[in-house]
Structure 1
Amino acid sequence: MILVISYPGEEHTDDVVARLERRGLDVLRIDLADFPGRTGLSCTWNSSEGTQVKISTPDGTFDLQDVRAAWWRRVRHPTVDPAITDPNAAAFVLSETNEAVDGMLDSLDCPWMNPRAADNAAHHKPLQWTVARQVGLAVPDTLVTTDPDHARRFIQRSSGCQTVFKAFIAIADAWRETRLVEASDLDHLESVRLAPVIFQDYVPGVDLRIIHVGEKFYTAELDARSTSYPVDMRMVIGEANVRSVTLPESVEERLLALQKRLGLVYGAIDMRRTETGEYVFLEVNPAGQWLFVESLTGLPISQAVADQLESMANGMNCSPYSKVTASAIGGSH
């Protein structure tokens, strides 16, 4: 059985699950928001029955000991019963549910795409940039700060270099595009005291969205240089010229080293290729989107994700780091 953890309507998950089911594979999909009300759990450790890890859903009861591979996609948090109105009681229920569900999932002896602890750690951009530099990838000069004076010095250190500021993570309810720092923004630098801000050298060039699956890379070039907003290609995908390209072998080797160090089996990597041909690493999203790349280029990414999960479930073609946890990220390389 292949365990898929994602919420209903997540279109990337829908596509891959449909492919797996058409192959006749047994797929169990759960939404963590269904715990503990719609989906219950019973885990036992005793001398007569051994270890049992069972969950009950509206579709039946399933033994997670049968899971041979798991996919940690985009997830939601458990839901507290609205009848619990006391905030302290609600916090206790949520804490207890998280402890039980997380422990249950971490107890499964199967390969993950991506391992949960590694996936969580790899979302942190400061870790990404540190590891990227360690494996030989070019990273733009970057500052993360709550110090207005440091921010001002970074922005003004070179008159010939533009600076962008960006969010750490895209939140649906507070989405922010990457923006160039304008002269008017300098009057508001005191606000960085309220929350850390990423400032980074702006790298002109062609965007690359690179989908990494297992040992393979699927790369799309998105040339947004002549669009209405070349600073952030996410804003102008419909205007950009898009085509599939092949990365230099040396860049793929460094990216694979990055992914292995981070413990990721899957990742959506963003880079820029400059006018001089330099490849500059911007970030990796462990749960990034790929369907827009697939639709614009025809690259068989959904098939590759399904193939990877099937191979992992069959014990074949598994990445040697499929069970890497966050504690191993800082190890030697």
Structure 2
Amino acid sequence: MQREVEKRGQRAYLLPSDEISNTRLTSLLSGDAHFCIGDERVVVDEISTIWWRRPSLAQTVLQERHGDVQDDYINSNSKVTLRSTLVNHFNGRWISAPDATERASDKLFQLRCASQCGLRVPDTLISCDPVAVQRFYDFHDRNVIVKAPHNTGRRFLATREFHVEDVTNEQLAVVPSMYQERIPGTRHLRVNCFGTDIRTASIDTEELDWRPNINVPVTPYNLGPDVQKQLLLLLETLGLAMGIMDLKITPDGELVWFEVNPQGQFLFLEPLTHQGLLDLFTTFLLSE
């Protein structure tokens, strides 16, 4: 993305959020804030646009172990200082604003907003109560999937079928999990929303979760204008400038909305669908 922006004659800085110690990040209450990329000093209030992507990575300085308490201190203060410095000194355009990004990452909140925007969403339970889980499981005739309400990023957790008889009540009670009715079908939709520009890919697979294997048919897909309006309304409701959404089409042709990732991956689709996503997103970044 940096190369594409600079090909168009604009300067782009990549601020490595996992290497804050190398950026000489500085914020002066009575003055400006700046960071350094190599020998170049970048003043925050002179930046026009910030793409707020992956700001909370663990610091690479921790490759030399300091101990758990010190590691936590370094990570948490680097994360907080980066966000605070940019939020308090930056006056340009966010893609997307940190508060909106964090709020929209709440899976229950985004499901509720999607439903309010007229989208069909799966019946959902988040619980660590074995009785509630069993009741939900029985209500949906054992057709239930399970996934994490929040992924840590340390390990890939695929969505999978849930069978209550395979786990104990003690295991169910350890941590809340997200349970949803299992939506049938083999056509998954990856919808890339860059502002008002929407590009959709159809991923055809028998797998419940397509992410571990994309060596399957992946083709461009045209969403109808009514659905696009609903998705744009959802972005507006969530306060997001962009969003990468996952949906599914049932065998009966019903469209079911699953989730939005405020900063989801999309460039992996570039060589598969030839939709010009790199060019589209660059144009979106540079638009005012």
Q: TM-score, normalization: structure 2? A: 0.90
Contact 1:151–1:189 under 8 Å retained in 2: no
- Partner residue of 2:127? 145
* Aligned partners of 1:131 and 1:261 also within 8 Å: yes
Alignment CA distance shift 1:19-1:163 (3 Å): same
CA distance in 1, matches of 2:15, 2:135: 48
Q: Does structure 1 residue 20 correspond to structure 2 residue 1? A: no
| Letter of the 2:219 counterpart | R
Q: Deviations over 1:65-88 (max 9, x none)?
A: 210111011232456678894766
Structure 2 match to 1:123: 105
CA drift at 1:223: 1.4
The residue type paired with residue 132 of structure 1 is: A
Identity %: 28
**Aligned-pair distance for 1:183?**
6.1
In the alignment, structure 1 residue 202 sits paired with structure 2 residue 187: no
Does 1:231 pair with 2:208? yes
Q: What SS does the corresponding residue of 2:41 show, helix, strand or coil?
A: strand
The aligned runs of 1:90-109 (5 Å cut-off) are 94-107=75-88, 108-109=90-91
2:59/2:74 contact within 8 Å kept: no
Residue 309 (1) aligns with residue 277 (2): no
- 8 Å contact 1:269–1:284 — kept in the other structure? yes
Cα distance change, pair 189–224 in 1 and its aligned pair in 2 (3 A): farther
TM-score (norm 1): 0.79
Change in 2 beyond 3 A, CA 1:269/1:94 = closer
Q: Does 1:66 align with 2:46?
A: yes
1:176: which partner in 2? 157
Does residue 32 in structure 1 map to residue 17 in structure 2? yes
Compared CA separation, residues 301 and 146, structure 1 to 2 (3 A): same
Deviation readout 1:261-294 (Å, 9 max, x if unpaired): 1111121100011122211110111121112222
| AA matched with 1:182 | H
Q: Structure 1 counterpart of 2:39, which letter?
A: D
Structure 2 unaligned regions, length at least 5: none
Query: How many angstroms apart in 1 are the aligned matches of 2:32 and 2:152?
Result: 37
The alpha-carbon deviation at position 57 of structure 1 amounts to 3.5
Residue type at the aligned position of 2:247 = M
Q: Distance in 1 between matches of 2:163 and 2:64?
A: 49
Distance 1:147 1:131, change over 3 A: same
Match of 1:214 among 195, 203, 211: 195
What RMSD in Å do the two structures reach over aligned CA positions? Answer: 2.3
Paired with 2:245 and 2:67, the residues of 1 have a C-alpha distance of: 43
Unaligned runs of 5+ residues in structure 1 are 1-15, 317-333
Q: State the partner residue of 1:42.
A: 26
Shift of 1:22: 1.2
Distance 1:222 1:85, change over 3 A: closer
- Counterpart residue type for residue 263 of structure 1: G
1:112 to partner: Cα distance = 0.8
Task: Out of 56-65 and 199-208, give the one that drifted further.
Answer: 56-65
From 156, 160, 172, the equivalent of 1:192 is 172
Equivalent position SS for 1:74: coil
Q: 1:93 to 1:223 in 2, by over 3 A?
A: closer
Alignment deviations for residues 91-141 of structure 1 (CA, whole Å, 9 cap, x no partner)? 555554444322211020011111111111211111111111111110111
Kept in 1: contact 2:2–2:13 (CA 8 A): no
Query: Does the C-alpha gap of structure 1 residues 18 and 280 become closer, same or farther in structure 2, counting only changes over 3 Å?
Result: same
State the Cα distance separating 1:171 from its structure 2 match: 4.2
**Which residue number in structure 2 is paired with residue 243 of structure 1?**
219
- Relative distance call for 1:246 and 1:189 in structure 2 (3 A) is farther
Change (3 A) 1:74 1:86: closer
For residues 26 and 182 of structure 1, do their structure 2 counterparts lie closer, same or farther at Cα, with a shift above 3 Å needed? Answer: same
